[in-house]
Homo-oligomer: A and B are copies of this chain.
Amino acid sequence: MAPAPLTAKGEATRARIVAATAERILAAGLGGTSLDDVRAATLTSKGQLFHYFPGGKAELVRAVAEWQGQRVLDAQRPALDALDSWASWEEWRTRLLAHYDAQHGWGCPIGSLASEAATSDPQLAAALADYLRTWSGYLAAGVERMRRAGILRADADANRLGTAVLAAIEGGLLLTRTEQALWPLEVALDGALAHLRSWEAPAE
């Protein structure tokens, strides 16, 4: 996976390319982002682009997807790893909303890529599916912790609930993009959390 040794300088250039490409894709879509655009935005040359991403645009986009995915997950931390009380869900909710609110241009970078490139690049599609599964897994783990702690009813299905929450986020982000406003994400997310709360265990 590391065919070419990279010096510090090389690493920096590579990172710059990935970040700039990510931003461009978020702003103009995958189709609206050409290698020339990236070249111009990063003050680099075609040679460098293919030096760092021998696989061409496809490989670059895959790197961007991974980078963006990590970014979103990190923005939810440490709350995401420690969902075990209503307060922790609340904090997680706040962090998530803050992240997307701060993001230049609304929408989910992952979701966009998923619908735009899923058909043309199976490898990327697989990576994105994996990523979404991972995210959903963290949420499910949080639900499961709540269940084990007796905060949620014993018959709560962690996987289903995790998936439902993630779907609400992704759907909310889609509407947030079309509306050019954050409120749909907020509404969708709060709806999913209310649903989660409805599984609260009856008084002990």
Contacts and interface: CB of A to CB of B under 8 A. Distances in A.
Interface of A: 27-32, 107, 111-112, 114-120, 125, 128-129, 132, 160-161, 163-164, 166-172, 174-175, 177-179, 184-185, 187-188, 190-192, 194-195, 198
Contact of A116 (B116, B129, B179, B188): B116
Given A120-B31, A168-B171, A191 B188 contact: no
B168 A169 contact: no
Contacts of A128: 178
A160 to B, nearest CB: 5
A153 to B, nearest CB: 13
A132 B174 CA distance: 10
B116 A115 contact: yes
A113 to B, nearest CB: 9
Q: What secondary structure prevails in chain A residues at the interface with B? A: helix
Given A111-B115, A120-B31, A169-B171, A163 B178 contact: no
B28 A31 contact: no
A193 to B, nearest CB: 9
A60 to B, nearest CB: 16
A160 B132 CA distance: 26
Contacts of A31: 30-31, 116, 120
15 contacts: A28-B119, A28-B120, A29-B116, A31-B31, A115-B116, A125-B178, A129-B178, A129-B179, A164-B188, A167-B168, A167-B174, A167-B187, A167-B188, A192-B195, A194-B195
A40 to B, nearest CB: 18
A119 B172 contact: no
Given A164-B191, A168-B191, A195-B198, 18 more contacts: A28-B120, A29-B117, A29-B120, A30-B116, A112-B115, A114-B177, A115-B174, A129-B178, A132-B175, A163-B188, A164-B187, A164-B190, A164-B192, A167-B172, A167-B174, A167-B191, A168-B171, A170-B171
